[in-house]
Amino acid sequence: MFDNQVLAQLLHLTGVTEEDFATLKRTSHITQQWVDDFTQAFYDILFSYKPTAAVFKEGERPAREASLKEWYLLVTSGNVANRQFWNHQWYVGIIHIPRKVTNPFMFGMMSRVQQLFLHRCLQECELGEAETTFLAFKRVTDVIAALIAESYHVNYMSALEHVAGLRPALVEQMMSLEVENMVTEARQKLLN
């Protein structure tokens, strides 16, 4: 599904360690109690904002809520340090393409999830435990968001290459030339 190096880089750069998964597992008896509140808040935000509400089909909210609950419970269980979980996050990036769930939508909502999680940690845990639990959750969900975004980008470009019948090396060369032009144009606009 994805290049192992991508995941390795993300884990390293975000600072995810085995201790993060252990922390999530150790605190799951508290954090998993929040699943219904998270799900409600998440979809209330999405359905109250016209651009994100347009992503959904009539009557699909219950199915999407069930998926989010499953995801949240899995992440907060700490049992996500495996290839199957990371492959599924990559798959989510692919699914976002035809659904028009853009990376700004995804990053915005991941930020909201992290904010909600922090708020609950601060309400229900001792300060030190709140910090440790939140940072574990944040690091893991940052990797998830980055993996979904990378999947969206890589698979969008792959589909474009396939549909247009272009070789990846040719696309790379054409992109480099066009990006150089865009950088020059943007630089001129910034200086004016």
The torsion angle over the Cα atoms of residues 137, 142, 147 and 153, rounded to 10 degrees, is: 150
User: Each residue of 38-81: pLDDT tens digit?
Assistant: 999 999 999 999 999 999 999 999 999 999 999 999 999 999 98
The architecture in CATH of the region 4-191 reads Orthogonal Bundle (1.10)
Model pTM score: 0.90
* Residue 121, Cβ density class (10 Å: 0-12 exposed, 13-18 middle, ≥19 buried): buried
User: Where do the domains of the chain lie?
Assistant: 4-191
